Amino acid sequence: MSYEVLARKYRPTNFEEVIGQDHVVKALKNSIKTEKIHQAYIFAGTRGVGKTTLARILAKCMNCESDTKPTPHPCNKCSNTIEINTGRSVDFLEIDAASNTGVDKMRQLIEGVEYKPAKSRYNIYLIDEVHMLSTASFNALLKTLEEPPSHSIFIFATTKPDSIPKTVQSRCLQLNLKTVSEEDLIKHLKKILKNEEIKYDDESIALIANSASGSVRDALTMLDQAIAHGNGILEKGNVTDLLGTIDNSLIMSLIKSIIDGDGVRTFNIFSQIEELSPEYDAILKNLISIFHQIAIEQVLKTSDDKEIKEISNVLDKEFCQLLYEISLNAYSKFNAHPSPKEALEMCILRMLAFNPLVKISDNEVNSSNNLEKKSLKKIINDKQNTNSTKNIESSEETHFKNNNDWINLFNSLSISPFARNYFGNMSFESYKNMCLTLSAEKEFSNVPENIMLEFQTELDNLLKEKIQINIIIGEVVNSPLLANKEKEKTKQDLSEKDINNNKDIQQFINKFNGKLKTESIKPIK
């Protein structure tokens, strides 16, 4: 017996087996139960979400012989339902509009509409990819669609509903099918693998479900390929090779190096990715998705991913939006580029070019001919090692005595949001011999060289002295950002207290039976 592909073997035969389209299934079931069947339907949605499948199930429901009237639960045992399943029903006509675009075919169909069904209750006409019909074909259908015989039902399936003339749309009931969620796809794939008695791991199923982009047919096709590729076993490594995807840790490392403005490290990581022979458009899609997750986390703080949380804490919100736009713009033009690899490389170069930390570094390097021969790390060490020994005693007495002095100094610095995210989460530890020691938690202790250079430069300019910076991992007590937050909270509490204690305001509220919106109260700046 020849092998039957999974997409055909597990095609739903009733409404209960359809996944991810509960809203459409419910509408169709209720219509059948109440005997309020529309004369023409448009099933709209992307490929592989169940348009043709639902049309066939609806046809079986209308013509099932297990009941004296249409039923939402076709038996799949009577001759009518079996013939529809096998494509042999004379009363269920399925037409591919892509290969039958001409008006002559539509005229032949319309001529047969008047005849009653041979053995069923209804003549049902399914026109797949209906948007491919010519304008003349649509015009020929108009009158029949508006006043069809009581024994005829039209079902139009399309991936481009906007391409259907409005005159046709207005005569049909349009049901929009959604892409199927990854969670539903994973459950469906696991159920099939259990039935087929195939070993698998969760990572491989997740990769297939993600790559399917909401299409059940695509997911089952890739599952067939993965089973063949893995010789009957699904493993993450084999599925990764098949789909051209790569380990997410490499993508995360790539993003971190871009944020740090480290071009050399960025392209070293890119070389590691290149060795895996990936699909470059899939990498770009992954970048877009990760920047989206980071942006959501920065606003809602709902992510469970540790790395997403870590990056969102140090990445400026505006720069995150810029990175998202750069990657999205690159993806929109990806197919126009002759080389996918070069397209992704240019996207990464654009991200580095617009990174403000790189611009800071460039300005520092261009300010001195000698600096062109030194790495950023060498620049920082040179700055730290050339500290002047003059006025050490007066400096120690003037600049830093305690954490409050550090907070006041931090608030007076004109530094980028990147630097503020790092140094604003550090607290004062000590200041001795022109060396400022700051305490930071582990996630903020490894300051990128560009950010350290920016902070060092601003500190030197403000204090008119060369001060060495030392960062240790330790307990952070009352960091500048936390202190500023507490200060703002105190101001807010005082403002709310003043409003609540103001007799005139309270009388006004009571007089008009009003309610004060707490979030509208803002401290006077």
d(CA 206, CA 200): 11
CA–CA separation, 376 and 286 (whole Å): 30
Residue 159 pairs in a beta bridge with none
Burial of 216 per CB tally in 10 Å (0-12, 13-18, 19+): buried
Say which residue, 243 or 480, is predicted with more confidence.
480
Scanning 147-247, the segments in alpha helix (DSSP H) are 166-169, 182-196, 202-211, 216-229, 236-243
Question: Is the separation of the CB atoms in 452 and 418 below 8 Å?
Answer: no
Name the percent of the chain lying above pLDDT 70.
90
Tens digit of pLDDT for each residue in 2-24? 678 999 999 999 999 999 999 99
* Share of residues in the chain with pLDDT > 90 (%): 45
Helix (H), strand (E), coil (C) string for 223-238: HHHHHHHCCCECCHHH
The Cα 23–Cα 484 span in angstroms is 49
Mean pLDDT of 300-308: 88
pLDDT band at 40 (very low <50, low <70, confident <90, very high): very high
- Residue 399 pLDDT grade (very low, low, confident, very high; cuts 50, 70, 90): low
Q: Which two tokens stand for residue 299?
A: 């606003």
Is the per-residue pLDDT at 371 higher than 70?
no
pLDDT digits (tens, 9 = 90+) for 374-394: 444 444 455 445 444 444 344
In this prediction the pTM is 0.63
- The pLDDT of residue 384: 47
| 316 and 357 Cβ atoms separated by less than 8 Å | no
Predicted local distance difference test score (pLDDT) of residue 431: 86
Give the start-end residues of each E strand in 397-476: 427-432, 435-440, 468-473
Q: What is the pLDDT of residue 509?
A: 76
CB 452 within 8 Å of CB 364? no
Sheet architecture: strand order including 435-440? 427-432, 435-440, 468-473
Is residue 453 very low, low, confident or very high in pLDDT (cuts 50, 70, 90)? confident
Structure confidence at residue 514 (pLDDT): 75
| Dihedral-angle region of residue 391 (phi above 0 means left; psi in -120 to 50 means alpha; beta otherwise) | left
Categorize the per-residue pLDDT at 495 as very low, low, confident or very high, splitting at 50, 70 and 90: confident
What are the tens digits of pLDDT across the range 309-350? 989 988 888 899 999 999 999 999 998 889 999 999 999 999
Looking at residue 376, its pLDDT comes to 42
Inter-CA distances, 140 with 91, 103, 174, 455, 468, Å: 21, 7, 20, 73, 83
Per residue in 84-140, pLDDT (tens digit) is 999 899 999 999 888 877 788 888 888 889 899 998 999 999 999 999 998 889 988
Q: pLDDT grade, residue 420 (50/70/90)?
A: confident
Q: 443 vs 198, 321, 451, CA distance in Å?
A: 42, 22, 15
- Kindly report the average pLDDT of the chain as a whole number: 85
Q: Answer for the pair 209, 185: CB distance below 8 angstroms, yes or no.
A: yes
